Structure 1
Amino acid sequence: MNNLDKTQPKLSIALLAAGQASRFGSPKQLACYQGQTLIERAIALLEGVNCELSIITGAHHSDIYQHLTSISKEDHVVFNQDWQQGMSSSIKAAVRHCPEDCSGVMFITVDQIQLTQADIQSLIDLWRQESSRIVCAEYAGHRGVPAIFPRQYFSQLLDLDDDKGARNLIKSSPNVSTVLLPNAELDIDTVAQLNELNNFHTPKKNKNI
């Protein structure tokens, strides 16, 4: 765990990696991109910022946990036993895991593989200036993950009950700031898509929570 700057509002980051990845046909979290598994790459990216990290697992928990143990990251894992209920259940698991002194939580998915540390830091920097507001990525005319929710939204996050995640909460709130992040537009859904990217072709797909 990083030594967190106590002069700043404390932020937790939840890496959402609980999905079944049915379109991918195997644990997408463990697929390789540029010599790293997607989950390993995401962890390395997120550990580069000064926040507490949790990894929300679900459908492929055993395989992912074994892999994270092999790279000494298993202490970050939070198992979402309700993963079949969709992304909202992972959001709830992450919120319940947040420390009491946490002022906000960021949600990010494991398959947004073009995101950079600078992208993540830009969201955090804006939120630390406006820590009472939702701060989220904007790309291709949409708002979505990565997204940061202040503590005053935790009760609403815990009331989510479908697979749309927090998309509707972002849409309905007037209290939202955005950061233009074109790199957030791409996520990976299929093996063919990942193979194309590994061959230097970049497909595009919108993703919201």
Structure 2
Amino acid sequence: MASIGTLILAAGASSRFNGCKALALFNQQPLLQHAINHSNTITGSHCHIVTGAWHEDISHYLAKSHYHGSVIHHRQWQQGIGSSIAFAVQYLDKHYSYDAILILLADQIALCSEDLQRLLQAYTGDNISCAFYHNSPGVPAIFPPHSFKQLQQLSGDRGAKRLLSDDRFDICHVVMPNAAIDIDTRDELLHWQQHDNREEK
């Protein structure tokens, strides 16, 4: 089986959220913990958190939890999500020998482990397997080794999205409506909590 490492992106300032979004509670657990739990079903303990603006808060939480992965502190997080991905992939490339990297956001609140399992099933070891929502490819996505160089060259705020439309790669789209739901504000989190409570009744 391929050795896959997960990068959970939690480096941003969450300026619209007015606080550390990754540590906001949903179903009595931080959003970040939900992402870690989903990652663990796919890659076991090979989970790596990319921190930036809220590094100290997130590190403090992880130190108290049962987290066994690494924390990759990107001090230049202000340069954008592309910069955070590039920095983190460089770190993994230096310290690990993964056959693939799964990139996951901490705030895609509706994602479930089954979504990531479908990504894994679509991954051949050579292609890019990515979510498809809003009529466009996006993360979560699994990237093969021959894309690591391009990931390390990312910059700015576009993230890995341009790679997901690059015809140099074999790209498999996995329709994933759950990936379309992310959290930017406290009102959005409250709305989703209320929606989730209604679904349970």
Q: TM-score, normalised by structure 2?
A: 0.90
Aligned counterpart for 1:36 among listed residues 22, 29, 36: 29
- Look up the SS of the partner of 1:138 in the other structure: strand
**Alignment deviations for residues 15-37 of structure 1 (CA, whole Å, 9 cap, x no partner):** 00111001111110111111111
What are the residue-to-residue correspondences of 1:56-71 with 2, within 5 Å?
56-71=50-65
Q: Deviations over 1:182-204 (max 9, x none)?
A: 111100000000011111179xx
How far 1:78 sits from its partner (Å)? 1.1
Deviation at 1:40, TM superposition (A): 1.3
Where does the alignment leave 5 or more consecutive residues of structure 2 unmatched?
none
Whether 2:100 is the aligned partner of 1:107: answer: no
Of 47, 55, 72, 2:49 maps to: 55
Where in structure 1 do 4 or more consecutive aligned residues deviate above 4 Å?
none
Deviations 1:52-109 (A, max 9, x none): 1111111100011101111132642111111111111221122123254211111110
Contact 2:31/2:109 (<8 A) preserved? yes
Contact 1:65–1:74, Cα closer than 8 Å, also in 2: no
TM-score by length of 1: 0.87
- In the alignment, which residue of structure 1 is the partner of 2:75? 81
Rounded Cα–Cα distance in structure 1 between residues aligned with 2:150 and 2:190: 38
Residue identity (%): 35
Q: Does 1:186 align with 2:148?
A: no
RMSD: 1.6
Distance in structure 2 (CA, Å) of the matches to 1:50 and 1:81 = 26
SS at match of 2:111: coil
* C-alpha spacing 1:172/1:75, structure 2 compared with 1 (3 Å): closer
Gaps of 5+ in 1: 1-7, 203-209
1:72 is matched with: 66
Q: Once the two structures are superposed, what CA deviation does each residue of 1:102-161 show, in whole Å capped at 9, x if it has no partner?
A: 11111110000111111111111221xx21111100112111000111111111111112
Looking at structure 1, the residues matched to 79 and 151 of structure 2 have their Cα atoms a distance apart, in angstroms, of: 14
Contact 2:42 2:117 in 1 (8 A): yes
**Number of residue equivalences:** 193
Distance 2:166 2:17 in 1: 32
How far apart are the structure 1 equivalents of 2:96 and 2:33? Answer: 27
Structure ranking higher in helix proportion? 2
Conservation of the 8 A alpha-carbon contact between 2:35 and 2:104 = no
Give distance in 1, aligned partners of 2:27 and 2:66.
20
Q: In the alignment, what sits opposite 2:89?
A: 95
Task: Select between 59-68 and 158-167 the one with higher mean Cα deviation.
Answer: 158-167
Give the distance between the partners of 1:108 and 1:150, measured in 2 at CA.
15
The corresponding residue for 1:120 is 116
Partner of 1:160: 154
In 2, the alpha carbon distance for the partners of 1:12 and 1:97 equals 12
* Counterpart among 132, 140, 143 of residue 138 in structure 1: 132
The residue type paired with residue 138 of structure 1 is F
